[in-house]
């Protein structure tokens, strides 16, 4: 069944809510299937943790890239490929997949949306709302805890901290100057060593500043919490900076459900009920979406036909530009099929691409469509019937064209 993405800032409470959603769905599935012997759906929770993806894959700082890595973001790309593969393997009309990872890139969410569409299964997005200072506080608490653990280990006398994943990824310090907290002097060192050492010093300064600088709330970790922090702090800060907010007008960010940190269990249950109704059992009927780019043609078109062809396609271009301003990139534009918006009539939908479409581009598509259909589209009648079918056909043509664009 559906693919449900959890999205939110790093350490904002995503896994906590994902686990609650998992428990909720487990119960509902059991209740639904009690009459029959086999459960209706299978449920999967996929996360960075379930695939053993380390927090360090998100660190883009080239200074922390291990020597054997292809580039600073290669590890994140590999992580995404692993997540994608894991989703693809199980997603089917009988499997519900919860994907608990940052899901912070718009293009990535689009890719997953398309995957769900490919297997003809619904899709939904749950955003976790949490103030930045609180999320930062969670990371700080985890840093503190892991530092305390390190100290305890050292006190205990074994002194080795090599098995802490956080320290193995940041070991590029080459000189004592970098570790000492004073800026290295260029005269003392070979130029290349100096450059490296200066970079390390800057990094250290940045990390120290970000402890004291940006505000964070004092957060108490739950006793069962055992997650590693994002280190260095710049890794966490960068993820916040790179976070691409979902836009519920885009079809790959909808339906969008929001759960905040402070939501009570009753609030959360109400949202889960909504997810169950809207995404799992009763996906609201989509309005018709014309998909054919051309309709079979015959007969010699009359003069009226060419006039209608120009007029209707122009009208659609105009309305798309008008509505785009409201619905934004990736939004859905609704158009009257008849061009006159009769009471209760079916509407046509144009799904806009992920970037803004301009008049020149729309005119290019329009001219191409007109050229294709100049010969007529197999209509005996002109007038409203022809207009309706032309509009539907042009909308289908645009949907095909836009789908290739993102
Ligand atoms: P993420 O998956 O986004 O990194 P987690 O779900 O692991 O975040 O949560 C981080 C920490 O914050 C955990 O210790 C968790 O217990 C705590 N936490 C998360 N959400 C809440 C909440 N709504 N109320 C109280 N504590 C929470
Ligand atoms: Mg998590």
Residues 361-386: tens digit of each pLDDT? 999 999 988 888 877 655 545 455 57
Task: Give the pLDDT confidence score for residue 94 in this predicted structure.
Answer: 87
- Overall average pLDDT of the 23-46 stretch: 86
Task: Give the pLDDT confidence score for residue 353 in this predicted structure.
Answer: 87
Q: Higher-confidence residue: 282 or 155?
A: 155
Task: Give how far Cα 213 sits from Cα of 50, 68, 109, 134, Å.
Answer: 34, 34, 32, 15
Task: Give the pLDDT confidence score for residue 356 in this predicted structure.
Answer: 87
Atom of ligand 1 nearest to the CA of 221: 14
What is the residue-averaged pLDDT of the chain? 80
Task: Give the pLDDT confidence score for residue 4 in this predicted structure.
Answer: 97
- Overall average pLDDT of the 20-24 stretch: 98
**Centroid of ligand 1 to alpha carbon of 232 (angstroms):** 20
Atom of ligand 1 nearest to the CA of 219: 12
Instruction: Give the pLDDT band of residue 389 (cuts 50, 70, 90).
Output: confident
Residue whose CA is at the smallest distance from ligand 1 atom 12: 13
Per-residue pLDDT tens digits for 273-315: 999 998 988 654 443 343 334 343 434 445 577 788 888 899 9
Task: Give the pLDDT confidence score for residue 168 in this predicted structure.
Answer: 35
- Overall average pLDDT of the 131-152 stretch: 93
**Centroid of ligand 1 to alpha carbon of 265 (angstroms):** 14
**Centroid of ligand 2 to alpha carbon of 72 (angstroms):** 22
Probe target for ligand 1 pocket from 222, 228, 239, 271, with the most ligand atoms within 8 Å of CB:
222
- Overall average pLDDT of the 37-46 stretch: 86
b/e map 358-384, b = 16+ CB within 10 Å: eeeebeebbeebeeebeebbebeebee
- Overall average pLDDT of the 182-206 stretch: 55
User: Helix 359-373 to helix 303-327 angle, to the nearest 10 degrees?
Assistant: 150
Burial class (CB in 10 A: 0-12, 13-18, 19+), 197: buried
**Centroid of ligand 2 to alpha carbon of 277 (angstroms):** 26
Among the ranges given (188-197, 240-249, 313-322), the one the predictor scored with the smallest mean pLDDT: 188-197
Instruction: Give the pLDDT band of residue 178 (cuts 50, 70, 90).
Output: very low
Instruction: Give the pLDDT band of residue 196 (cuts 50, 70, 90).
Output: low
Residue whose CA is at the smallest distance from ligand 1 atom 27: 13
Task: Give the pLDDT confidence score for residue 183 in this predicted structure.
Answer: 52
**pLDDT surpasses 70 at 187:** no
**pLDDT surpasses 70 at 259:** yes
**pLDDT surpasses 90 at 330:** no
H helix or E strand, kind and range, residue 392: helix 384-403
Task: Give the pLDDT confidence score for residue 191 in this predicted structure.
Answer: 54
Residue whose CA is at the smallest distance from ligand 1 atom 25: 261
Atom of ligand 1 nearest to the CA of 18: 6
**Centroid of ligand 2 to alpha carbon of 268 (angstroms):** 18
Task: Give the pLDDT confidence score for residue 314 in this predicted structure.
Answer: 92
**pLDDT surpasses 70 at 85:** yes
Please give the distance of CA 222 from its chain centroid, rounded to a whole number. 27
Task: Give the pLDDT confidence score for residue 247 in this predicted structure.
Answer: 85
Percent of the chain at pLDDT > 70 equals 75
Whole-angstrom distance, CA of residue 228 vs CA of residue 49: 10
**Centroid of ligand 2 to alpha carbon of 281 (angstroms):** 27
Task: Give the pLDDT confidence score for residue 292 in this predicted structure.
Answer: 39
Pocket of ligand 1 (CB under 6 A): 8, 10-16, 138, 221-222, 225, 227, 261
Atom of ligand 1 nearest to the CA of 9: 3
According to DSSP, the β-strands at 3-7 and 332-336 are: unpaired
């Amino acid at each position: 069944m559906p693919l449900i993405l959890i999205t939110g800032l790093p350490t904002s409470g995503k896994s906590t809510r994902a686990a609650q959603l998992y428990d909720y769905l487990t119960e509902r599935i059991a209740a639904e299937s009690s009459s029959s012997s086999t459960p209706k759906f299978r449920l999967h929770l996929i996360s960075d943790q379930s695939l053993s993806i380390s927090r360090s894959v998100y660190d883009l700082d080239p200074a922390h890239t291990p020597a054997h890595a292809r580039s600073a973001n290669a590890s994140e790309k590999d992580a995404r490929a692993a997540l994608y593969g894991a989703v693809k393997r199980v997603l089917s009309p009988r499997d519900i997949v919860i994907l608990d990872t940052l899901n912070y890139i718009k293009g990535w969410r689009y890719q997953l949306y398309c995957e769900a569409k490919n297997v003809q299964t619904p899709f939904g997005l749950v955003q976790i709302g949490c103030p930045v200072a609180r999320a930062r506080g969670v990371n700080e608490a985890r840093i503190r805890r892991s530092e305390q653990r390190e100290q305890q280990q050292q006190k205990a006398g074994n002194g080795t901290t090599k098995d802490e994943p956080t320290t193995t990824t940041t070991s590029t310090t080459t000189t004592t100057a970098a570790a000492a907290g004073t800026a290295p002097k260029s005269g003392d060192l070979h130029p290349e060593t100096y450059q490296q050492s200066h970079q390390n010093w800057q990094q250290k300064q940045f990390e120290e500043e970000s402890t004291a600088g940006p505000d964070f709330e004092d957060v108490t970790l739950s006793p069962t919490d055992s997650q590693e922090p994002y280190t260095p702090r710049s890794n966490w800060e960068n993820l916040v900076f790179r976070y691409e907010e979902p836009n519920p007008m885009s079809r790959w960010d909808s339906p969008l459900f929001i759960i905040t940190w402070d939501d009570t269990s009753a609030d959360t249950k109400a949202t889960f009920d909504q997810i169950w109704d809207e995404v799992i059992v009763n996906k609201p009927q989509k309005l018709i979406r014309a998909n054919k780019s051309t309709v079979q043609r015959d007969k010699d078109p009359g003069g009226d036909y060419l006039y209608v062809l120009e007029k209707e396609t122009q009208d659609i271009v105009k309305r798309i530009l008008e509505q785009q301003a409201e619905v934004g990139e990736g939004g859905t534009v609704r158009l009257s099929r008849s061009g006159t918006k009769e009471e209760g009539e079916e509407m046509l939908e144009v799904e806009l691409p992920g970037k803004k479409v301009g008049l020149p581009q729309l005119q290019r598509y329009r001219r191409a469509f007109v050229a294709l259909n100049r010969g007529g589209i197999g209509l005996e009648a002109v007038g409203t019937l022809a207009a309706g079918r032309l509009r539907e056909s042009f909308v289908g043509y645009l949907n095909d064209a836009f789908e290739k664009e993102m």
